[in-house]
Structure 1
Amino acid sequence: MASSVGLALCGQALVVRGGSRFLATTTENSDDDSLFIYDCCIAEKKSQENKGEDGQPVEKGSDIILASTFSKSGSYFALTDDSKRLILFHTKPWQCLSVRIVVRRCTALTFTASEEKVLVADKSGDVYSFSVLEPHGCGNLELGHLSMLLDVAVSPDDYFILTADRDEKIRVSWALAPHNIESFCLGHTEFVSRIFVVPDHPELLLSSSGDCTLRLWDYRHGRELHCCHLTDLQDPAGPGGDKRFAASRITYWSRDSCVALLCDCVPVVYIFQLDAPRQQLAYKQQLSFQHRVWDIAFEESQGLWVLQDCQEAPLILCRPVDSQWQSVPENAVVTKVCALLCRNWAMLEGSAGQDSGFSSLYKATFDNVTTYLKKKEERLQQQQRKKRHKNPAPGPNGQTKKARSGEASWSCSS
């Protein structure tokens, strides 16, 4: 499930969202303080958005942004909100192109590599496509699962659509004929929270799950190549050491084949090295933070940006120094962007106590055997009490209490 706070980077364009608003700026080291702010509360509302499939009125959404993403080139930006709207923007310069209605609340979205379509995954398990070139066109149903979808991705050649669901599956479908399934990537034992196709190794897929693993796949053949158990990397005595957690973000830095993983209940970022020739992941280190980390994203020219719940320092920039990632001292770029966020902190502070929603997705477990044995023991004890009541225990001379009382009354009458 998407968090209500998020960070997106493409080139030097940076977007931070919180609640119903987002702000867009640049990480360029210049005096340009240009800022674009958009609030979904003022977005176009249509009458049909308050009607369900049966035509009956449904509860109005809250306008909170559920998911957002850039296109590959950064020319477009799209978001979906709790009022079941898909809003498309052009970024050069920033302007809203369209507001369209989606059938159900969405969990994830992505642009195709050609930037001709936006693919939107929803809670019912469906993926719809919406045209970018015709920004007011209706959506087309592409494929469906029998379970809630949590993420959607496309291969760099736009040949495959990859979907991850609550029922532990990753499905690889043909983009031109989505009813044709190329493969399934099976192995996770809990919901699949995130999937990520490696840009410079397009045959490889990274996935994360509520089973606390990060896995590497040859997704076309549904073959697992490597599995990292995150619980083995976590200090049991540290924060979150005894919790279940799932990744809320997988991000990749092609300059050093570096993978960064952010988990929803753990205040650390895990750093891995992708060894593509050997088809494996090597754990490098973890970055710990004093405040809750909302989101992370790599910028190719700068490093790893970390968005955290701290008004004094909402953004931290991390870079590798002597092969070890660490936060860099404040510079002009970090200072500029942090100042913009501080002036607009109201859109973030309302989301401080909200979680990503993964906790509700874990499989419920029932210990039926213990319950059965307990009830069985109660029935046996009840049966024993009934038997003792019907057949009282014999006295010292082998007589029951009832018989002895009868003798006593006979002796008196005689």
Structure 2
Amino acid sequence: MASSAGLALCGQTLVVRGGSRFLATSTASSDDNSFFTYDCNDEEKKSREDKGEDGPPLALGSGAILASTFSKSGSYFALTDDSKRLILFRTKPWQCLSVRTVVRRCTALTFTASEEKVLVADKSGDVYSFSVLEPCGDGRLELGHLSMLLDVAVSPDDSFVLTADRDEKIRVSWAAAPHSIESFCLGHTEFVSRIFVLPAYPELLLSSSGDGTLRLWEYKTGHQLCCCHLARLQEPAEPQDHKRFAASRIAFWCQEGCVALLCDRSVPVVYFFQLDALRQQLVYTQQLSFQHRVWDVAFEETQGLWVLQDSREAPLVLCRPVDGQWQSVPENAVLKKVSDVLRENWAMLEGSAGVEASFSSLYKTTFDNMTSYLQKKEERLQQQREKRQQSPPPGPNGQAKRARPGRAAWTC
């Protein structure tokens, strides 16, 4: 299984991850060239050495990072890996605070707005909370679904926990009493891949799905405000694939009210939308193509859109709007600094798949068993017709005639 490459940004702190490793640095040009690097596999080795255990490590996983996120202020950073661990960091300065075990492999995580908890969603449909203030505390089960969870979010005031699952639902639950459901946002016809509460408009929610749509919701009431069909936005030269449009990333630029969407497709395109807050609508503005496969995107308020792509020569691209159109900018000092380090550590990114790699198995599969049934039925009818043709015709009383035995010859 290919490892997942990803990008995370908060303020001027940038994190690039690949496989079991991540590296963090500052995008401020005034800062030095220091980098913080971390390898999840090193943590397992250290833990075994502390316990005095010998021999090979347990085959729990490769340590590949499955999901990662910053807290709202950027003071904390958390990740989960496929060895079923939740690892919490302090970022100022960088320091690993705790390594805790989760019940199942996780699909998404987020901090509460208060930064007191980390919420972790897993494949079984459960959401657990882990304390930030008590870094070694056990997890607590908060809520559950009957299907796999693909994303989790919280409202800016921490009143609601929002969850997206494979069965097309977005559930809005009260954080203080998760068994109490405020609403459902229903309308998607495939799994919901991503949800994102707009920080500048706390009552609005963006969602994307395998059905090829980007939708805007008033999530407390479950009312859909806008639906954009991504297949209709394709350039004429692009293949007309009306599936595989689940977003692997929804990014929002508060400064300009701009939404960037990266989709589950091999075509390296980022879609841009403008939020019309007055009419509560999304307006499609542009799609930006790249020369290499795009792994992830993230906005930085002061710089623009950072793009992580599958290219050792140019692993990072910085894009900004020029005369109303997004385009890549020439390499600057910060971009060169980070790109140089990524080239030196390219082994952690090489062979990576995007976050969307896990989506391919989530689409519904239609089984056409009626054609097989009708074919077998026709074969049975044909066999019955052939049997009737081979049997003797019926007699006067409706029964088949029987052959009369021959009379014996009498001789004198």
The equivalences for 1:184-223 within 5 A come to 184-223=184-223
Q: CA deviation at 1:30?
A: 3.1
Q: Tell me the alpha carbon deviations over residues 104-149 of structure 1, each in whole angstroms, 9 at most, x when there is no partner.
A: 1000000000000000000000000000010000000000011100
Distance 1:7 1:304 in 2: 11
* Aligned residues between the structures: 385
Change (3 A) 1:16 1:391: farther
Q: CA deviation at 1:312?
A: 0.2
Task: Confirm or deny: 8 A CA contact 1:108 1:122 kept in the other structure.
Answer: yes
Q: Tell me the alpha carbon deviations over residues 250-295 of structure 1, each in whole angstroms, 9 at most, x when there is no partner.
A: 0000111000000011321000001111011000010111211000
The aligned residue for residue 308 of structure 2 is 307
Distance 1:240 1:353 in 2: 21
TM-score by length of 2: 0.89
Change (3 A) 1:144 1:356: same
Amino acid of the residue matched to residue 161 of structure 1?
A: V
Distance 1:292 1:163 in 2: 29
Distance 1:353 1:211 in 2: 19
Q: CA deviation at 1:352?
A: 4.8
Task: Confirm or deny: 8 A CA contact 2:270 2:287 kept in the other structure.
Answer: yes
Q: Tell me the alpha carbon deviations over residues 187-223 of structure 1, each in whole angstroms, 9 at most, x when there is no partner.
A: 0000000000000000000000000000000000010
Q: SS at 2:98's partner residue?
A: strand
Distance 2:248 2:392 in 1: 66
Q: Tell me the alpha carbon deviations over residues 339-358 of structure 1, each in whole angstroms, 9 at most, x when there is no partner.
A: 11001000000325995211
Task: Confirm or deny: 8 A CA contact 2:288 2:326 kept in the other structure.
Answer: yes
Task: Confirm or deny: 8 A CA contact 1:110 1:119 kept in the other structure.
Answer: yes
The aligned residue for residue 86 of structure 1 is 86
Q: SS at 1:388's partner residue?
A: helix
Task: Confirm or deny: 8 A CA contact 2:264 2:356 kept in the other structure.
Answer: yes
Change (3 A) 1:113 1:354: closer
Amino acid of the residue matched to residue 296 of structure 2?
A: D
Amino acid of the residue matched to residue 325 of structure 2?
A: Q
Change (3 A) 1:356 1:204: same
Task: Confirm or deny: 8 A CA contact 2:6 2:354 kept in the other structure.
Answer: no
Aligned-residue identity in percent: 78
The aligned residue for residue 28 of structure 2 is 28
Distance 1:310 1:59 in 2: 31
Task: Confirm or deny: 8 A CA contact 1:311 1:345 kept in the other structure.
Answer: yes
Q: Tell me the alpha carbon deviations over residues 19-73 of structure 1, each in whole angstroms, 9 at most, x when there is no partner.
A: 00000011111361100110000114779xxxxxxxxxx9622211000000000
The aligned residue for residue 147 of structure 1 is 147
Task: Confirm or deny: 8 A CA contact 1:87 1:100 kept in the other structure.
Answer: yes
The aligned residue for residue 270 of structure 1 is 271
Q: CA deviation at 1:369?
A: 2.4
Q: CA deviation at 1:388?
A: 2.8
Task: Confirm or deny: 8 A CA contact 1:235 1:241 kept in the other structure.
Answer: no
Q: SS at 1:150's partner residue?
A: strand
The aligned residue for residue 95 of structure 1 is 95
Task: Confirm or deny: 8 A CA contact 1:76 1:88 kept in the other structure.
Answer: yes
Distance 1:361 1:245 in 2: 12
Distance 1:101 1:240 in 2: 44
Q: Tell me the alpha carbon deviations over residues 299-325 of structure 1, each in whole angstroms, 9 at most, x when there is no partner.
A: 000000110000000000000000000
Structure 2 residues without counterparts, runs of 5 or longer: 49-57, 394-402, 404-412
Task: Confirm or deny: 8 A CA contact 1:3 1:357 kept in the other structure.
Answer: no
Task: Confirm or deny: 8 A CA contact 2:3 2:351 kept in the other structure.
Answer: no
Distance 1:354 1:119 in 2: 19
Distance 1:124 1:229 in 2: 30
Amino acid of the residue matched to residue 186 of structure 1?
A: L
Q: SS at 2:361's partner residue?
A: helix
Amino acid of the residue matched to residue 359 of structure 2?
A: F
The aligned residue for residue 406 of structure 2 is none
Distance 1:239 1:289 in 2: 16
Q: SS at 1:361's partner residue?
A: coil
Change (3 A) 1:353 1:88: closer
Distance 2:385 2:88 in 1: 73
Distance 2:333 2:139 in 1: 43
Q: Tell me the alpha carbon deviations over residues 224-246 of structure 1, each in whole angstroms, 9 at most, x when there is no partner.
A: 00000001112364156354221
Distance 2:344 2:244 in 1: 35
Change (3 A) 1:3 1:186: farther
Distance 1:391 1:198 in 2: 81
Q: SS at 1:349's partner residue?
A: coil
Structure 1 residues without counterparts, runs of 5 or longer: 48-57, 393-402, 404-414
> Comparing 151-160 with 26-35, which one deviates more in the overlay?
26-35
Considering only aligned residues, what root-mean-square deviation do their CA atoms show, in Å?
2.2
The aligned residue for residue 55 of structure 1 is none
The aligned residue for residue 323 of structure 2 is 322
The aligned residue for residue 179 of structure 1 is 179
TM-score by length of 1: 0.89
Amino acid of the residue matched to residue 195 of structure 1?
A: I
Amino acid of the residue matched to residue 139 of structure 1?
A: G
> Comparing 367-376 with 154-163, which one deviates more in the overlay?
367-376
Q: SS at 1:60's partner residue?
A: coil
Change (3 A) 1:325 1:274: same
